[in-house]
Chain A
Amino acid sequence: MRNYIIRRVALLIPTFLLLTVLVFLLIRLMPGDVIELMVMQHSHEQAGQTQVDIDAIRSMVGLDKPFMTQYWDWLKGMLHGDLGSSYWTRRSVTGDILGRLPVTFELGFLAFLIAQIVAIPVGILAAIRQDSPGDYIVRSIAILGVAVPSFWLGTMVMVFPSIWWGWSPPERYIPLTEDWWLNLQQFLIPATIIGFGMAGLEIRMLRTTMLDVLRQDYVRTAWSKGLRERTVLVRHVFKNSAIPVVTIIAGQIGVVIGGAVILENIFNLPGMGRLFLDAINSRDYPYITGMNALFSIFGLVMILITDLSYAWLDPRIRYR
């Protein structure tokens, strides 16, 4: 098991380096860079911009150095927790990200919680009552959860309560420490929408694998031993169905982050998703590079945890 872990961790490093080099290269290869945008904005304020100014700004943000030097500096900074500073405002990228992190984390955590609370019991019920009306209803709703775009659902929730009852979610973001009740009101709807999308996939997955496991010989043995239904379902069936579901859950992190980008946009929450979109729109490259690096570290660690829990749940993988 230890060798397995070491090998898996060692393989993460080249992947991470590959990502950062790719993002770095792509950004610097592209024409029409941020400097021209900045000069254009400046020239609104004062006429007579010259090549000198462009060069001055370029060296101010460090884009005049050779590529490898830039990359190396960035990598060193990152290992010290410094992701550089904004081209426009000179604010620290790390500071900004840390400031926004709690919002996205809360959103993601709530969404995850909602998805699990819904998906696990519903998935189990759909499997043990296969082909019952309940099963059909659950399956149709689960498929809808995958087919309904989160941005449409979010838009509808914004628009219709406002038309019918004149109700709309609070405009201003209220931190958890200020008023937890208002804060929860603000987060619950977007979190439910993300959670709904997650649950849809998970229910389908859980149902399929449960049905597989329910037909296994050892489950028949468990029944014929006279075990209680609860024991058979939880100890024998659910535990064995959990393995594929765990992989799905890790993949869901992508759904959460993607959902956060979209729903923070709709519901006016100042989280990482909004920060990311703003950075893209203003071509503030240190943010784009930094957040991509952060997301991918997060994703790689999730992949690792999945693989490890996989190995932990299924000894056949561990001992191969």
Chain B
Amino acid sequence: MTEIPVTAGNHAPKRRSSAADFVIRLVKEKPLGTLGAIIILIILFAALGANFIAPYDPLQSSLRDKLQPPSVTHPMGTDNLGRDLFSRIIYGARISLYIGLGASVINVIVATLLGLVSGYVGGWIDLLLHRFVDLALSLPSLIILITLVGILGSGWLQITLIMGINGGILWTRVVRSSVISIRENTYVEAAKTIGGNIWHIMRRHILPNIMPVMIIIFSVSIAGNIMAEAGLSFLGLGVPPPTPSWGGMLSADGRRFMYEAWWLAVFPGLILTVVVYGVNMWGDAVRDLLDPRLRGGIGRYGTRIKVKVNKIELIKNHKQE
């Protein structure tokens, strides 16, 4: 799959709509995407304001209250150490979002830098980068993450960097192919002719035109990153306890108590699912709204087969568990 041209033809890039325009279209055309955005905002709010929202200290154990079922005082019950589950889930949003968003930012940076170089400069760099992409593709992401976390140690910084770089390498293909299609445009040719150097062309002509792709990569990769962090924590390779994380609450240590306390099994997974669902919907909506080739009727932009391939690339990258 390394040789497939991914972008549609040489359509002139469209003017980007303003942020307000984007929001209006999101609400009008993408109800599910709007729902996703609302879910993200709520979780973001919970994560940032955890100190004020959470009724209890997430680390404060009180053995007298251990394994309490959900009640008015403990809306989601308490765990085996008597810690309030609701508070822990609110604080858990921090880990999920910080690592999820952080890794997605790094995804964009890595993919953009590598994609620009391999798409614009090409040559042996392109060939070498492709081997890295093949490598990242050949191994399941979870195996790569586990291996690297196992070697480099687990901590939020390591996990964010590892997920960011690994995902970034996978996304390089998408950036690369749009860079190649933009490179062929007359205005780039013109800029070269009047003596614009490579940095100037990249910054002024290529980068602005791949902005939509960068935003799409950011939005689409959040869900996978949140899920990957939860998976690592579940396996005991995530952020070490007692820091509350959604995956960690479901891990083997917690599972022993779930047979007596069903709420320990239900709530962390439920909130994780809702968030991943919302972020997924948001990512899909952003992709549909920003990528002119995927919008509306088929065949309006570029030829059909190329449109299809582009969707595959996007959907394939979509799952990065």
Residues of A in contact with B (beta carbons under 8 Å apart): 11-12, 14-15, 18-19, 22-23, 26-27, 30, 143-144, 146-153, 155-156, 158-160, 162-163, 197, 201, 204-205, 208-209, 212, 215-216, 244, 247-248, 251, 253-255, 257-258, 261-262, 265-266, 276-277, 280-281, 283, 288, 291-292, 295-296, 298-300, 302-303, 306-307, 310, 316-317, 320
Say if the beta carbon of B308 comes within 8 Å of chain A.
Answer: yes
* Set B132, B142, B305, B312: member contacting A261, Cβ < 8 A: B142
Give Cα distance in the complex from A89 to B231, angstroms: 29
Give Cα distance in the complex from A143 to B273, angstroms: 11
Q: Are B311 and A159 in contact (CB under 8 A)?
A: no
Give Cα distance in the complex from A147 to B224, angstroms: 9
Say if the beta carbon of B40 comes within 8 Å of chain A.
Answer: no
Q: Tell me the minimal C-beta distance from B321 to chain A in angstroms.
A: 6
Of B11-19, B45-53, B82-90, B255-263, the stretch lying at the interface with chain A is B255-263
Contacts of A143 in B (CB 8 A): 277, 280-281
Q: Are A163 and B315 in contact (CB under 8 A)?
A: no
Q: Are A280 and B143 in contact (CB under 8 A)?
A: no
Q: Are A295 and B139 in contact (CB under 8 A)?
A: yes
Contacts of B230 in A (CB 8 A): 149, 151
Q: Are B235 and A19 in contact (CB under 8 A)?
A: no
Say if the beta carbon of B148 comes within 8 Å of chain A.
Answer: yes
Given known contacts A262-B234, A277-B146, A299-B139, A155 and B255 CB-to-CB distance under 8 angstroms: yes
Q: Are A18 and B234 in contact (CB under 8 A)?
A: no
Q: Tell me the minimal C-beta distance from A274 to chain B in angstroms.
A: 11
Contacts of B266 in A (CB 8 A): 156
Q: Are B258 and A159 in contact (CB under 8 A)?
A: yes
Known: A18-B135, A146-B280, A254-B141. 8 other contacts (CB 8 A): A18-B131, A147-B277, A147-B280, A151-B234, A212-B307, A257-B143, A280-B149, A291-B143
Q: Are A159 and B139 in contact (CB under 8 A)?
A: no
Contacts of A18 in B (CB 8 A): 131-132, 135
Q: Are B131 and A14 in contact (CB under 8 A)?
A: yes
Who on chain B is nearest to A282 by CB?
A: B150
Contacts of B27 in A (CB 8 A): none
Q: List 16 interface pairs A-B (beta carbons < 8 Å), by A numbering.
A: A18-B131, A18-B132, A26-B151, A27-B151, A143-B280, A149-B234, A155-B255, A156-B269, A160-B262, A208-B311, A251-B316, A261-B142, A277-B235, A299-B140, A302-B138, A317-B3
Contacts of B273 in A (CB 8 A): 144, 147-149, 152
Give Cα distance in the complex from A168 to B206, angstroms: 58
Who on chain B is nearest to A29 by CB?
A: B151
Q: Tell me the minimal C-beta distance from A220 to chain B in angstroms.
A: 14
Q: Are B139 and A296 in contact (CB under 8 A)?
A: yes
Q: Tell me the minimal C-beta distance from A159 to chain B in angstroms.
A: 5
Q: Are A244 and B142 in contact (CB under 8 A)?
A: no
Q: Tell me the minimal C-beta distance from A68 to chain B in angstroms.
A: 20
Q: Are A276 and B146 in contact (CB under 8 A)?
A: yes
Say if the beta carbon of B319 comes within 8 Å of chain A.
Answer: yes
Q: Are B304 and A149 in contact (CB under 8 A)?
A: no
Contacts of B150 in A (CB 8 A): 280-281, 283, 288
Q: Are A258 and B298 in contact (CB under 8 A)?
A: no
Given known contacts A18-B131, A251-B316, A296-B138, A144 and B235 CB-to-CB distance under 8 angstroms: no
Q: Tell me the minimal C-beta distance from A266 to chain B in angstroms.
A: 8
Q: Tell me the minimal C-beta distance from B261 to chain A in angstroms.
A: 9
Who on chain B is nearest to A28 by CB?
A: B151
Who on chain A is nearest to B299 by CB?
A: A215
Given known contacts A15-B131, A300-B138, A247 and B316 CB-to-CB distance under 8 angstroms: yes
Q: Tell me the minimal C-beta distance from A46 to chain B in angstroms.
A: 29
Q: Tell me the minimal C-beta distance from B237 to chain A in angstroms.
A: 7
Given known contacts A155-B265, A163-B262, A215-B298, A296 and B135 CB-to-CB distance under 8 angstroms: yes
Give Cα distance in the complex from A305 to B213, angstroms: 29
Give Cα distance in the complex from A255 to B131, angstroms: 21
Say if the beta carbon of B152 comes within 8 Å of chain A.
Answer: yes
Who on chain A is nearest to B272 by CB?
A: A149
Q: Are A299 and B258 in contact (CB under 8 A)?
A: no
Contacts of A30 in B (CB 8 A): 151-152
Say if the beta carbon of B134 comes within 8 Å of chain A.
Answer: yes
Give Cα distance in the complex from A283 to B317, angstroms: 30
Given known contacts A23-B147, A147-B276, A212-B298, A317 and B4 CB-to-CB distance under 8 angstroms: yes
Give Cα distance in the complex from A296 to B136, angstroms: 9
Interface membership of chain B positions 117-135, coded 1 if the CB is closer than 8 angstroms to chain A and 0 otherwise = 0000000000000011011
Contacts of A295 in B (CB 8 A): 138-140, 143
